[in-house]
Amino acid sequence: MVPDNRYDVAIIGAGIVGLTSAYHIKKNNPDVNIVVIDKAPTYAQGNTARSAAGFRDMFSSDMNFNLSNSTIGFYRHVQEDLGFDMGMQFVGYLFLTSNDDPRLQVLQKVAQRSKVRTIDADSLSRYDFLKTKIDDETKSLMNLKDIDIGILGENCGTIEPELVVDFYYNSALRMGVKFLFNTHVKEFHLEPVDPMDYPGEPFLWQKKKLRKLETNNGDIEADIFIACTDVWTTGLLDNTGIDSHIRPKKRQVFQISGPNVESVLYGWDQNDDGVLPFTILPSYGVYLRPAPKAKSLWVGVADDYNRDFSFSEEPEAEKEYYENSLAQVVHAYIPTLTYPKVTGMWAGYYAYNTIDGTPYIFRDLNIIVASGTSGSGILKGDSIGRIVEAVYSGKEYAELYNGSKFKASALGIENREVEKEEFII
């Protein structure tokens, strides 16, 4: 009889990446005995719960386009064909930019493969709330750019991550995947494949593997371990000498509400929902994300300089960062949003691949690592799960939902085939 702490596959992390991985592995290998372990009391309590919940297939790299385009297609299929609400609203992603912005060229490349519409300055100036020409003093003080053009991605919008993870969790559960919550995995410890029961093993010359996970609820044994642990991956792996290749960057979201916010939120007429698209201002990548259920906008940015790589279990949003940095930029382009009420704020981390801004999926010994989502793990979640499945099954290619074949080693370390991503938002 197989002991009840023994599995074929142990997935650590029940965020979007762990859930899509469990779903696709079980779907393709029904006999495989899988456990998903998380230290939290339930699934998706990590960074999946803290995202700005936008989706887009507007990426500079072909690969990120493919990962996101396929995932959006699958989520849409679940929502429209299977009738399982994912909270997807195709409100669009609006990149507002100036003629001399180097990102414009990249956006023009993006337009060749994504469903994109160009909105010229005249059409943009119809929107009273938007200031397209910034006065010279503000421009030079704050290093701002004018708005000359808008590039609107139409296969983009907002989603509800809690609904997306419900779909994967419930489907995995139905297929027989086991979940262990409140179960904290300590560091990985490698052991010899053929132990000799000598103190100090494993020695240099012994073959090694991860045999078991030590947790607060006892040991868990498996043949294959899959670390879907986002920013926690580094700490988990450190002891093994395997590099996770990621660093944490704190990211914050500020919810603003009130009559002025609503006039901007509902002041757009170029999508079916009649709400502002997920809008990226021309300077610094400051974004406004529509949240119509709460009659609010979410404001955020992927800031780099002076945003250190420190990590805390419970990161807090800094209101003064909103007031002194973000609000100033927002106000310059949308003067009506002068002092809106901040009605909520939260912070999380991007598991940042600082080299190319694209996820890592690789196998070393009997450990598979899926991390480095760099701020877009939800909108690429389904593709990531399919690639983890291909790596687990030893396939050369993963088949993505959009029908494309994706080389399973392409997101690895040894044979990585990735171009640098320019659009980290």
Binding site for ligand FAD (CB under 6 A): 12-18, 37-40, 45-48, 50-54, 184-185, 228-230, 232, 236, 251, 253, 348-350, 373, 375-379
Task: Supply the minimum distance, in Å, between the C-beta of residue 164 and ligand FAD.
Answer: 10
DSSP helix/strand/coil, 260: helix
CB-wise, 108 or 354, nearer to ligand FAD?
Answer: 354
State the pairing for strand pair 218-227/397-399. Answer: unpaired
Task: Supply the minimum distance, in Å, between the C-beta of residue 396 and ligand FAD.
Answer: 24
What is the C-alpha separation between 343 and 286, in angstroms, rounded?
A: 19
Task: Supply the minimum distance, in Å, between the C-beta of residue 360 and ligand FAD.
Answer: 11
CB-wise, 7 or 232, nearer to ligand FAD?
Answer: 232
Contact yes or no for 209/193 (Cβ under 8 A): yes
Q: Residue 41 burial (CB < 10 Å; 0-12/13-18/19+)? A: exposed
Contact yes or no for 21/363 (Cβ under 8 A): no
CB-wise, 25 or 134, nearer to ligand FAD?
Answer: 25
What is the C-alpha separation between 278 and 99, in angstroms, rounded?
A: 21
* Residue in the block written with tokens 């792996």: 237
Task: Supply the minimum distance, in Å, between the C-beta of residue 156 and ligand FAD.
Answer: 10
Task: Supply the minimum distance, in Å, between the C-beta of residue 93 and ligand FAD.
Answer: 10
* Residue in the block written with tokens 């901007």: 264
CB-wise, 68 or 257, nearer to ligand FAD?
Answer: 68
Task: Supply the minimum distance, in Å, between the C-beta of residue 56 and ligand FAD.
Answer: 8
DSSP helix/strand/coil, 424: coil
How many angstroms separate the Cα of 43 from the Cα of each of 16, 36, 48, 170, 288?
A: 9, 9, 9, 11, 28
| Alpha helices per DSSP H over 282-380 | 319-321, 327-333
State the pairing for strand pair 190-192/157-158. Answer: unpaired
Dihedral, CA of residue 237, residue 67, residue 156 and residue 355, to nearest 10: 50
CB-wise, 257 or 371, nearer to ligand FAD?
Answer: 371
What is the C-alpha separation between 400 and 67, in angstroms, rounded?
A: 8
CB-wise, 283 or 353, nearer to ligand FAD?
Answer: 353
Task: Supply the minimum distance, in Å, between the C-beta of residue 155 and ligand FAD.
Answer: 14
* Residue in the block written with tokens 């991007």: 350
Contact yes or no for 396/412 (Cβ under 8 A): no
| Alpha helices per DSSP H over 7-120 | 16-28, 62-80, 102-110
Task: Supply the minimum distance, in Å, between the C-beta of residue 3 and ligand FAD.
Answer: 21
Task: Supply the minimum distance, in Å, between the C-beta of residue 136 and ligand FAD.
Answer: 34
CB-wise, 41 or 102, nearer to ligand FAD?
Answer: 41
Picking from 150, 327, 312, the residue whose alpha carbon sits closest to that of residue 235 is: 312
* Backbone conformation region of residue 372, classed left if phi is above 0, alpha if psi is from -120 to 50, else beta: left
CB-wise, 144 or 330, nearer to ligand FAD?
Answer: 330
Contact yes or no for 350/277 (Cβ under 8 A): no
- Per the structure block, which two tokens stand in for 23? 């779903």
Prior bond of 292 cis (ω within 30°): no
CB-wise, 14 or 334, nearer to ligand FAD?
Answer: 14
